[in-house]
Chains A and B, each alone.
Chain A
Amino acid sequence: MSVRLAILDSGHGFGTKGLFALIRTVSRQPVLDVIKLVKYRADFYGGPMQGVTHEAMRGSSTWSVGDRELMAAFVAKTNQCEFCTKAHAAVAQRAYRDTKTVSAVLSDLDTAAIEEPLRATLLMLGKLAREHAVDADDIRVVLAAGASRQQIEDALAVCFSFNVIGRLADAFGFFVPGPKAFEAGAKYLLARGYR
């Protein structure tokens, strides 16, 4: 099982292939297809995209890293992207040190035990991803729930990144590995971020 474009699986330069071998040795897991994508002709997509995603996910924000990873997983779930949902649910669980809340949000947002500003923000992101648009009234609901203007802007940045990454994961047909590979990925993303 490999990605739909052979170049994304094996078209990398010699140095990058060495890096993949190192990752496999250290993590004792296969290299995730998302890593292979960002490392393929990195000047075209991977490099500039990682700049956006790192700022959205790890730049200063009053949302915690766990909150933003949860938003990423939620947007991915709305887009029906299995790879990104599992990958970022794993990161959110690790960041929160709590598996129940993340599962609860992904299975039933209305009843999950989270703060109202976060719930309202997730609902709005879900509508945006599903219907490709939100209007001023949708935003007013989030503001009324207690989220700030800046928090909404920060959440939209997360949504932007995962609208891109999820589409690519599905279009290129990323292999969805078992939980251990996503655990290794989550550890890396919490230690190093997206750069």
Chain B
Amino acid sequence: MSDIRQARKALTSRILEGGGKASPSDRRAAFNNSGLAEPLGGLVDKVARHAYRVTDEDIAVARESGLSEDQIFEIVVCAAIGAATRQYDTALAALEAATGKE
């Protein structure tokens, strides 16, 4: 059985609690897809819900708002991992409900 629990924990704590160019609160907000002002809020929501709709313009607008490329990089990474985490946690809870906790 593959077990990604430890690796996932390390990933999440690194991106949210480790050092970075974006503030920890912005990284956390991107992860949660909640509480970010525009234009970042819109970009993060797109990454979380339908990333294939992100355009050159979306990234350009984030850059023009004063964010560095490193900050955009971190925010987008946090948004993607947050969205994937919510799906994973929801599905694991459904699995536990269907089978009973081990």
Q: A51-B10, A139-B98 are in contact. Are A163 and B83 (CB under 8 A)?
A: yes
Per-residue CB contact flags for chain B residues 50-64 toward chain A (1 = under 8 Å, else 0) read 111010100100000
Task: Establish whether residues A5 and B73, one from each chain, have CB atoms under 8 Å apart when the complex forms.
Answer: yes
Which listed residue, B20, B54, B86, B88, touches A44 by the CB 8 Å rule?
Answer: B20
Residues of chain A contacted by B15 (CB below 8 angstroms): 44-45, 48
Determine if B11 and A171 form an interchain contact, defined as CB atoms under 8 angstroms apart: no
A-B contact pairs, 17 of them (CB 8 A): A5-B69, A5-B72, A44-B15, A48-B7, A51-B11, A55-B4, A56-B4, A60-B1, A79-B52, A136-B98, A139-B98, A153-B92, A156-B95, A163-B80, A164-B84, A167-B79, A170-B52
Taking A44-B15, A139-B99, A154-B2 as known contacts, 14 extra A-B pairs with beta carbons closer than 8 A to each other, sorted by chain A number, are A56-B2, A59-B3, A60-B1, A79-B51, A128-B90, A132-B49, A133-B90, A154-B1, A156-B88, A163-B80, A163-B87, A167-B51, A170-B52, A171-B46
A→B interface (CB under 8 Å): 4-8, 11, 40-41, 43-45, 48-49, 51-52, 55-56, 59-61, 79-81, 128-129, 132-140, 143, 149-150, 152-154, 156-157, 159-161, 163-164, 166-173
Q: Give me the interface of B with A, judged by CB distance under 8 Å.
A: 1-4, 7-8, 10-11, 14-15, 18, 20, 43, 46-52, 54, 56, 59, 69-70, 72-74, 76-77, 79-81, 83-88, 90-92, 94-95, 97-99, 102
